[in-house]
């Protein structure tokens, strides 16, 4: 799907007379954790096919690094789930759209058009669009899904080196403790501000885990005041 969807997106953005390099970079960074910039991408210096191959190699390399933190069997199951979920949801939407087309296509007869030919033509176009949407949704969820939260945090912890160096360091195993859980990057989800020396200040907001049980609003306040929590420390200003 990477080999099929990426070329279509590259053509969509830069095949015209006025190529939209900024739009392509935005799509790449919001879909994959590549952290591309105009200087790193240098799309202007390559042909369309060269840009396509450049992005495919970068994406596959990033996905291999992500998968290296998880069990191979779990990765395969996750891939099947992502693909089947995209097909199931988008196929249902496609069927609804086909019903609407079938109910309204007879109106084309008023414009001196053959409703049957119009139905076949639009149904084919809708199916092509369905296949493209399935591929794009799979790619969109590829780096947003994980079989193991700990392994995913380990992958996020390696992103500073992966984004700033040509060759990223070796990945820790899935059972290794996560390094630097705070102030780590999430690729396109994080803001990267480079200073004059080329260093990057990247932050990562991971879920906060409670150290104590949650206190109900009507339970006694843990501070020992004897009041209900909602009337004491849990009171909203």
Is the pLDDT confidence value at 198 over 70? no
Q: What is the mean pLDDT of residues 144-155?
A: 74
Give per-residue pLDDT as tens, 55-112: 999 899 888 888 887 888 888 888 899 999 999 999 999 999 999 998 888 888 888 8
3-state SS, one letter per residue, for the chain: CHHHHHHHHHHHHHCCCCCCHHHHHHHHHHHCCCCCCHHHHCHHHCCHHHHHHHHHHHHHHHHHHHHCCCCHHHHHHHHHHHHHHHHHHHHHHHHHHHHHHHHHHHHHHHHCCCHHHHHHHHHHHHHHHHHHHHHHHHHHHHCCCCCCHHHHHHHHHCHHHHHHCCCCCCCCCCCCCCCCCCCCCCHHHCCCEECCCCCEECCCCCCCCCCCCCCCCCCECCCCCCCEHHHCCCCCC
Structure tokens at 28: 């790449």
Give per-residue pLDDT as tens, 9-57: 899 888 877 888 888 889 988 888 788 888 888 888 888 889 899 999 9
Structure confidence at residue 209 (pLDDT): 56
Structure confidence at residue 17 (pLDDT): 74
Q: Quote the pTM value.
A: 0.58
In words, the CATH class of domain 72-142 is mainly alpha
Structure confidence at residue 121 (pLDDT): 92
Range(s) of the chain covered by CATH 1.10.3060.10:
72-142
Closest by CA position to 139, among listed 13, 35, 20, 8: 8
Instruction: Compute the Cα dihedral for 144, 148, 150, 151 and give only its sign.
Output: negative
For 49, counting Cβ atoms within 10 Å of its Cβ (0-12 exposed, 13-18 middle, 19+ buried), the class is exposed
Rounded to whole angstroms, the Cα distance separating 134 from 64 reads 21
Residue 172's pLDDT band, with cuts at 50, 70 and 90, is: very low
Residue 161: CA atoms inside 13 Å, Cβ hemisphere, count?
12
Structure confidence at residue 160 (pLDDT): 53
Largest CA distance in the chain: 82
Rounded to whole angstroms, the Cα distance separating 158 from 117 reads 54
Give per-residue pLDDT as tens, 215-236: 777 778 777 777 777 788 777 5
């Amino acid at each position: 799907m990477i080999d099929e969807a990426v070329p279509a997106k590259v053509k969509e953005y830069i095949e015209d007379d006025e190529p939209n390099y900024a739009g392509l970079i935005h799509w790449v960074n919001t879909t994959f954790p590549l952290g591309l910039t105009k200087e790193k991408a240098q799309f202007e210096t390559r042909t369309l096919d060269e840009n396509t191959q450049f992005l495919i190699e970068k994406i596959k390399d990033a996905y291999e690094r992500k998968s290296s933190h998880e069990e191979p069997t779990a990765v395969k199951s996750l891939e099947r789930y992502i693909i089947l979920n995209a097909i199931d949801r988008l196929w249902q939407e496609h069927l609804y759209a086909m019903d609407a087309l079938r109910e309204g296509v007879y109106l084309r007869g008023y414009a001196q058009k053959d409703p049957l030919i119009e139905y076949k033509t639009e149904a084919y176009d809708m199916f092509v669009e369905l296949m493209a949407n399935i591929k794009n949704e799979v790619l969109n969820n590829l780096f947003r899904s994980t079989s193991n939260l700990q392994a995913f945090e380990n992958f996020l912890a390696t992103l500073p080196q992966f984004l700033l160096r040509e060759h990223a360091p070796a990945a820790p195993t899935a059972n290794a403790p996560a390094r630097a859980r705070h102030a780590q990057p999430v690729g396109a989800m994080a803001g990267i501000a480079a200073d004059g020396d080329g260093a990057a200040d990247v932050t990562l907001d991971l879920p906060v885990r409670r150290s104590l049980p949650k206190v109900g609003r009507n339970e006694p306040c843990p501070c020992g005041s004897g009041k209900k929590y909602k009337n004491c420390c849990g009171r909203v200003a």
